[in-house]
Structure 1
């Protein structure tokens, strides 16, 4: 019969508990006695576990189990802070943590987050929100944080092991026609119509347009220089700073049919001075995406586009039209300011001369579509009004 007072070994000790299970304890390199995180059904299993601990210490692989007791919330918030992220990414990560991750894992130690708990959390989030894209983003963030904890040797292995859980399967984005782009521009009115055209035929991000200055526009060359961006955070603060990536700083050659749009906007609405903002509100204040959003929704409804069509989808429209006009993948990625290691290899040789060719192709395509629309019976006042200004070119 096993002795309740304990059975000594050359390394560590084993004792039988009143429950009938066995507890193993051993001295760490610092001399402090530590217990196994679980009890064992037999003395042999406890002895095998002690042998593993002794081997780890001899190899230098032993890690203090108390290190993994760091609270996840403390570690996660420090992880976000140390990354020095852009304002928008920082805001996104903190929102995902606050709404989706910390309610489940915040009070747990890093070593208490297990694969079964991760699977249960993901399933619960999918059931509660139905937002597969948001849950995928949250899973990727959780996995990244715990991967760093693994590298910091606070946990032995990342518990996020669900194949494909971080992959987003977004629905196919809508594409507007040339007539619909014109109709949207007309519905938004003279002050904001150029934003629609720059989004579709640039294609520029809204946060890039928000930071455009007079000095960034060259009417003779029909180019716009994207230098910085000013995304608007959920708090309403404009976070002026660098573009989304290095590729975002670029020279965009615009199609010639936008010349009169660009010139009139500079004459009528842009702030004075070389550093004056290109887009400002009726009171001369910097562009606010929240205010513009209300105008956009009204225009979208007036044109008859679905609720799912976002202003950002005009960029997708620009991608598609540029491709149809003869642009290669290299060309479209340069125009859109997209960046990745793989993409950089694909579009690094798309220079300004090639961009001028793409812009000329866009110019021909849009003019042909507008000509066809004028020669056919008008479907309604919106189709006609969308090109009034452009016809003066």
Structure 2
């Protein structure tokens, strides 16, 4: 023990007897900076994938071989590759803390590439298909489809937009907050998922008429009124949107069965990337963290961002000339 103390390899034998399931649950509860949705995700991973296999194992007994066997068991039970990677990253983070606290000598999660995800390739719609889908859904949802796509917005971001967030004269939308729906059904309103998520985005002028019509017909006049709401004026939830838009039927009708709402953002990102914008410009537009640690949403729209919107406008005009000439 004296030698271990000298070399820094000493671990606490009493704390090492703690069961992984108990330690991981405490690990989640002690991270007060986690977002509610992240807590929900971690708790689910712990309940579904960690506790049934490793929950009763003392921390001191968990080694790399056991972790490797656990991971293989999950895969063998039909758990998807992405879910297995998430569970592994969660376990690795928990045990890294145990190692940092000198409860165990080192983190046993040492399987190369086990935490990496290779998500399936998602579909990219053509501009014509975006407008086709927008024309199929009820008119009160048409502008939502167009803005989510051509401003590269996440569902929670577009659902939280208020009248004051859209400037039709400047052709911009400001993302200040987002809606987060928990598995319990609770709806939370908070800041975007990262500091870079607070941003102001230029959108193509071709969609301004649709936005103007929507604001006139479906949005209350107050500055803080939600732009997109349910048929009765309530907060628009993802499930309500899917039903109202007849999403499964209409996405199949345009030739994209199984399309996710997030694929609209993916489509917008792809179109933006094809405009020749730099990586930094794209990351700012998409609301991703970059070398610039923080974003100020009031920051003026960069010239490069306006070029992105203009390039989108040109692509829309090529496919649907009437759409770009309406304004």
| Distance in 1, Cα, partners of 2:265 & 2:111 | 33
Give the one of 235, 248, 252 matched to 2:201.
Answer: 252
| Distance in 2, Cα, partners of 1:361 & 1:107 | 57
**Are positions 1:65 and 2:9 aligned together?**
no
**Are positions 1:108 and 2:57 aligned together?**
yes
8 Å CA contact 1:70, 1:110 repeated in 2: yes
8 Å CA contact 2:19, 2:55 repeated in 1: yes
State the partner residue of 1:29.
Answer: none
State the partner residue of 1:192.
Answer: 141
Cα distance, 1:350–1:225 mapped onto 2, change above 3 Å: closer
Q: TM-score, normalised by structure 1?
A: 0.77
Cα distance, 1:62–1:334 mapped onto 2, change above 3 Å: closer
| Distance in 2, Cα, partners of 1:109 & 1:214 | 54
| Distance in 2, Cα, partners of 1:351 & 1:194 | 22
**Are positions 1:82 and 2:33 aligned together?**
no
Task: Select the structure with the greater relative contact order (CA < 8 A; seq sep ≥ 6).
Answer: 2
State the partner residue of 2:315.
Answer: 365
Give the one of 257, 279, 294 matched to 1:306.
Answer: 257
| Distance in 2, Cα, partners of 1:320 & 1:365 | 12
State the partner residue of 1:136.
Answer: 85
State the partner residue of 1:281.
Answer: 230
| Distance in 1, Cα, partners of 2:267 & 2:6 | 62
User: CA deviation digits over 1:58-106, x for unaligned, max 9?
Assistant: 6564333122112212221221222221122221111111111111122
Q: How far off is 1:352 after superposition? A: 2.3
State the partner residue of 2:40.
Answer: 91
Cα distance, 1:370–1:75 mapped onto 2, change above 3 Å: same
8 Å CA contact 2:272, 2:312 repeated in 1: yes
- Superposed counterparts of 1:17-28, under 5 Å: none
| Distance in 2, Cα, partners of 1:92 & 1:106 | 17
Q: How far off is 1:363 after superposition? A: 0.7
Cα distance, 1:78–1:300 mapped onto 2, change above 3 Å: same
| Distance in 2, Cα, partners of 1:93 & 1:237 | 17
User: CA deviation digits over 1:109-165, x for unaligned, max 9?
Assistant: 211212121111100101112400100010011001100110011111111111110
Q: How far off is 1:340 after superposition? A: 4.0
| Distance in 1, Cα, partners of 2:201 & 2:305 | 8
State the partner residue of 1:325.
Answer: 275
**Are positions 1:270 and 2:219 aligned together?**
yes
Compare CA radii of gyration and give the structure with the larger one: 1
| Distance in 1, Cα, partners of 2:87 & 2:250 | 33
| Distance in 2, Cα, partners of 1:162 & 1:232 | 33
Q: Which runs of 5 or more structure 1 residues have no equivalent in the other structure? A: 1-52, 375-386
